[in-house]
Amino acid sequence: MKTVSPAAKISGGWTVSGGKTGLSPFSSFSPQSALRLTAPNGNEIIQPGTPFPVRWLSNKQFEKVTLDYSPDNGTTYLSIANAIANNGNYLWWVPYHISSNCLVRISSAETTGAVQNALLYEMTFKISYHDAPSTHGETFTIWLGDALSEIVNPFTPGITFSNEADNGTYVRFNETIKEIPQIQGSFDGWHRLKVLVEPGTQSASLWLDETIIFENLRLNPGFTFSPAISFSTGPEDSATIDIDNLTVRISDSTAVENENTFPILFIEDFENFEVGTLPENSGWVTTRTEDPGTVSRCVLVSRDSSTWKNCLKLQVIENNRVVVVKHFTIPGSFPFDTSDKTFSIKESNKD
């Protein structure tokens, strides 16, 4: 299992190395696990209508497991087998569900998860201005929920980045604003962001480039968790937003006694996407305009010239507000594990 291992809980947060409160800015991993999926584990090409051996490792603390697969990198899951023997293997007859964004998930069939698990969001992003950044206000917002509606739920946590007329760079988390002097005046270049949301304490913490910006910030009264993440820009902004290496994790206290771990729900690095598109089976949904061509140009996968990697690109065209959202599924049982990376279900004679 791919996990983060914070030490003891401190007032609703987590201990980090160096004695500071909060979760370690960028994760260390722990091999300890009650379940570890070993196949399929990423990049396989599996032919539909054929048997495939699903394999896993287990400490055998429970007798039954459940297997599911996702055709859209964790947005939805469909059943493979329920409450089967925890013996390390199962022969899966692969369905005719053609997709290059598949995952398999294994979970205990005997335990259930808490409804107030913490969520950990990690990503890299870049904001490229088309003209002087000092002419801009709010540039880019990350919503920890579904923001496709014209009026976003006021209880949805929002993180907004802006450059102001004083050449200061600011981040606003809900209604709390802080200046970010370490990137004063410009967002040029890639930055790393981590956000920890704890529904149980109605609080959140945020790190930017390994520096904590908000610690145990109280969320808006009435906050309700939504298993989605959205990115928005426009309609007035003349900037391009690039997103990469999006990873969402959930806390799990069942895998290791007296210790919370953060197994991965999904990773999105866009490497399996064709440049210039946003595949229908990717699990991503975008805003709609009267001109479908405008949408396809507003949100697409692009290859970054500095990293030579694919990334998600948002750009304002014809004064359209641009929003893209990724929903994901929370497992009903813990512990669990998923494929490390996506794999393909694809007929061998098809391109």
3-state secondary structure 313-335: EEECCCCCCEEEEEECCCCCCCC
* Average of per-residue pLDDT across 308-314: 90
Whether 74 and 112 have beta carbons less than 8 Å apart is answered as no
Share of the chain above pLDDT 90, in %: 45
Q: Which of 191-195, 217-221, 285-289 is least confident?
A: 285-289
For residue 30, pLDDT beyond 60: no
**Average pLDDT for residues 206-219, to the nearest whole number?**
93
Q: Which residue has the higher pLDDT, 216 or 290?
A: 216
CB 292: neighbour CB atoms within 10 A? Answer: 9
What is the tens place of the pLDDT at every residue in 141-193?
999 998 887 667 778 899 998 877 677 788 999 889 998 875 644 556 899 99
Q: Is residue 309 part of a domain?
A: yes
- H or E element: which one contains 296? helix 292-298
Instruction: Report strand pairing: 89-93 vs 191-198.
Output: unpaired
Q: Do 123 and 199 have their domain in common? A: yes
Which pLDDT belongs to residue 244? Answer: 95
Average predicted confidence (pLDDT) for the chain: 80
CATH code for the domain of 286: 2.60.120
Domain presence at residue 8: no
d(C-alpha 211, C-alpha 234), whole Å: 27
Instruction: Fill in the amino acid letter for 137.
Output: G
Residue range of the domain that includes 190: 119-327
Query: Would you give the end-to-end CA distance of the chain in angstroms?
Result: 32
Count up the domains in the chain and report the number: 2
243-274 pLDDT per residue, tens? 999 999 998 877 555 456 889 999 999 988 88
Is it the case that residue 294 has pLDDT exceeding 90?
no
Q: Are residues 173 and 257 in the same domain?
A: yes
Contacts with 196 (C-beta within 8 Å, 6 or more apart), sequence order: 13, 14, 22, 23, 118, 119, 120, 121, 204, 205, 206
Using one digit for the tens of pLDDT, what is the confidence trace for 110-144? 876 656 789 999 999 998 876 655 445 668 899 99
- Is the model's pLDDT at 31 over the cut of 70? no
The whole-angstrom distance between residue 151's C-alpha and the CA centroid of its chain comes to: 23
183 and 89 belong to one structural domain: no
Confidence of residue 1 (pLDDT cuts 50, 70, 90): very low
Say what the pLDDT of residue 8 is: 29
